[in-house]
Chains A and B, each alone.
Chain A
């Protein structure tokens, strides 16, 4: 077929078209022609794609087919869902045979990459490109920390230097030393040479503390709650700057913020760190929303939000997670577990100003009998399927 020269699409127009496609299509279209392959692999394109993708972000929904499934049948599913429905969720990828230990909420995607603890190692995956990286095992440390101290690994992203780093907290390997040791791994370069290294000033300049909450990465900093110097004493929020690898301690506004330990909630609220204080084990009719207004000055603001009791009648599960906020500033509530019965999966938007809740159905989240049956959902009555939602998932074509 003869193609006239004048009929060829100019390069920048081609880029304009490609950049509007979803990541899944782009991966497939690498084999269309040489030009397309070089465009899609080029760094410039990847960067522009990521910035455009963050304007049209979607939910990343991850869930498994059961804790008690046989090893060969375990699956971890990743779906991308629009924030307002009604289109059905798109399947990104499925990971097989993984033992995803129950996380302390660090199953949120950070700039398109998601980190999960697959004991004893940590795994980072990118659902858009389906790249999976297993980080090297951590040095062995004697398990001396008291419960409910939570040590573990999480993923952080620094937008300034465009780097991903994994932060690991382990028990100090020094004798008679109950401090937390901080290990960092920069995800750059040759994967075979990945190794954990200590941050500077590990042992002497950092006061002892006991980390107890989930981690959250906001704008280049990883936050988590801790007691210092020992459990139950002073509540602080530890802030790890991904770029400089320095730790700062921010006084927590109240003990309530840490009170529920691993059930305490930290999230991103309109670009800032926020904590929601509510009773985690039963219905509640109000909650406190603490917002870290100024990171430098450690200033917090508090809002008490009323919560309609009647709403609880419409939900079947009492355990709710608060994945974050949408672009309009509404708080998202999502059931922590899938229903035992096959049924639609709903998420809820809570408007802080009006105290109203609206419901949105996410289609395609294990709401099909055939799907559940073929993947062995809910085989035993004790089975639970935890759902992890990232509200502003960015499609990142980057291959680390």
Chain B
């Protein structure tokens, strides 16, 4: 053995180690100065005198398994060296934090249980940044959360202190949605019986004009209306690009320059506004777009529910043309152009029921 080897060996023998046992049973030997970073371990060593030998290894909290622990050790080993500049530390942190969100979650959990504040800060900051702009469902996935709010709770009415027409309409829409939810529950029981009814839209028109059984008509009518709403909301979501604000901007442009055909549904809105049904108010682009009250609060939730409704309706009609989002606009087109009175009828019937 060379001189340097001997020196290293000597150093190793003089350095004391703490024995730690991770959650999955593996026993590790960690240099004392690193181990003392963890307040919890400090306490155990000082007050209980454990950890000094393999048989008396300190058990780490259950969130700390071997993989995570080695990551944490790397982190501590890097940062404990005093000579590093802030820039170095920051760039190390940036590289260190690059891992999938599941791992990140475990790391945050482990750091929290070991009370390692700087690492908790780093991981939580990164997790916060990850979820910041994401839709709600994705957040639930990343963080493993149950979706346990009832539909009703999600649609709680906003307080309308300024008597803002936008909020008033939003609350109305929510109330309507809640009613519809209840209706849907009720109808589900009814529809189970008449499930296999497949009608083309032509049949539908003749039904309505012929004044046939109300239940079928109105449920279809309602679905059509909901679908109409879907189009509007779906198209507004389409533009959910950079900033919310620009979405509203473009909606404003629509209302002002009615000739502009950016999505096609823009023009529909204007025409609908002339019809005297309760839906009309809700479709006025202005009330949706400008305040930002509405877009932010309701988009993801509504979108999910309405997406489901679209699928329902599509299935029931057994239509081939309702395949992709882009094509979904046609049913709207149809109901408008086919006969102005169709819409009126539907709206009217809806009023009667509700």
**A→B interface (CB under 8 Å):** 3, 6-10, 12-14, 16-18, 20-22, 24-25, 27-29, 31-37, 75, 88, 90-96, 130-134, 191, 364, 370-371, 374-375
Contact = CB atoms under 8 A, between A and B. Distances in A.
Given A17-B124, A28-B297, A94-B290, A9 B244 contact: no
B252 A374 contact: yes
B139 A29 contact: yes
24 contacts: A3-B146, A7-B144, A9-B108, A10-B109, A10-B113, A14-B143, A18-B128, A20-B124, A25-B131, A31-B301, A33-B145, A34-B148, A34-B149, A35-B145, A88-B243, A90-B243, A91-B292, A92-B292, A93-B291, A95-B162, A96-B291, A132-B162, A374-B252, A374-B256
A216 B296 CA distance: 33
A20 B162 contact: no
A201 B292 CA distance: 45
Given A13-B109, A374-B256, 17 more contacts: A6-B63, A9-B143, A10-B113, A13-B112, A13-B124, A16-B108, A17-B143, A20-B128, A25-B132, A31-B136, A31-B149, A33-B140, A33-B147, A33-B149, A37-B149, A96-B291, A131-B161
Given A7-B144, A131-B161, A31 B154 contact: yes
B253 interface: yes
The number of chain B residues touching the other chain, given as a range, is 35 or more
Chain B binding site: helix, strand, loop or mixed by DSSP?
Answer: helix
Contacts of B147: 32-33
B45 to A, nearest CB: 24
A13 B128 contact: no
Contacts of A95: 162
Contact of A132 (B120, B128, B161, B297): B161
Nearest 6 pairs between A and B by C-beta?
A20-B128, A91-B245, A16-B124, A13-B112, A31-B154, A17-B124
A50 B104 CA distance: 26
Contacts of A75: 290
Contacts of A14: 143
A94 B291 contact: yes
A21 B131 contact: yes
A57 to B, nearest CB: 17
Best-buried of A12, A90, A91 by chain B (most CB within 10 Å): A91
A150 B124 CA distance: 49
B148 A33 contact: yes
Interface in B279-336: 290-293, 296-297, 300-301
